[in-house]
């Protein structure tokens, strides 16, 4: 059986740290926050988060009979998807639908514009707090300038055998993310 040696150093952003915590990330230990003022129901009812993929497209350099792959110069981010539990008043669904509807109806508003008006911003940062085994925050993933791009199906079934919570997926696009 392989063991993890606690004195291995890991480089992150030019710094080296000692790997001394070998606890595994818990799949249920997270919290999603978009904007407490405008999206409080999404924070409370978030069930699943799918962190997006990151792609660095290689640049192909032709050389004789083959191509040589060089590191690209642009990161491409996949979509951030959250599965939201629907409350009986549909508040979580309505919050996301209203945000998407505002994107179509109104011009872009930054978060600074909302200081003088009660209208929510067009773009909003999404923060996921990763929690430890003691429910303390260990890391945060911040998705910068996120906007909703898709609201998935809302399935209402009268013949459902097992009573489960009704959920819907919401997909976001964003400019970048940071892990702190």
Quick one: which H or E segment has residue 96? helix 91-105
Longest dimension (CA), the chain: 65
* Averaged pLDDT for residues 160-174: 85
- State the pLDDT confidence band at 20, using cuts at 50, 70 and 90: low
What's the pTM?
A: 0.75
Per-residue pLDDT, 145: 92
Q: What sign does the dihedral 31-32-35-37 (CA atoms) show?
A: negative
- State the pLDDT confidence band at 172, using cuts at 50, 70 and 90: very high
Classify the phi-psi angles of 135: left when phi > 0, otherwise alpha if psi is within -120 to 50, otherwise beta.
Answer: left
The position carrying tokens 């660095």 is: 56
Residue range 81-137, pLDDT digits in tens: 999 888 889 988 998 899 899 888 876 555 555 555 566 778 889 999 988 888 888
The position carrying tokens 């409350």 is: 87
Distance CA 29, CA 83 (A): 15
């Amino acid at each position: 059986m392989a063991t993890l040696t606690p004195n291995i150093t890991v480089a992150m952003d030019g710094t080296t740290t000692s790997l001394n915590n070998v606890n595994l990330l818990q799949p249920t230990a997270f919290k999603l926050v978009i904007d407490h003022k405008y999206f409080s129901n999404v924070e409370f009812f978030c069930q699943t988060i799918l962190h997006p993929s990151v792609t660095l497209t290689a640049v192909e350099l032709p050389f004789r009979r083959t191509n040589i792959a060089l590191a690209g110069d642009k990161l491409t981010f996949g979509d951030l998807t959250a599965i939201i539990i629907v409350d009986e008043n549909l508040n979580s669904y309505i919050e996301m639908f209203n945000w998407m509807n505002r994107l179509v109806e109104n011009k872009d508003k930054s978060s600074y514009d909302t200081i003088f008006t009660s209208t929510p911003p067009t773009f909003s940062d999404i923060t996921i707090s990763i929690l430890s085994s003691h429910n303390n925050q260990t890391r945060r993933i911040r998705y910068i300038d996120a906007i909703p791009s898709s609201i998935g199906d809302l399935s209402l079934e009268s013949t459902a055998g097992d009573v489960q919570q009704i959920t819907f997926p919401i997909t976001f696009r964003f400019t970048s993310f940071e892990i702190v």
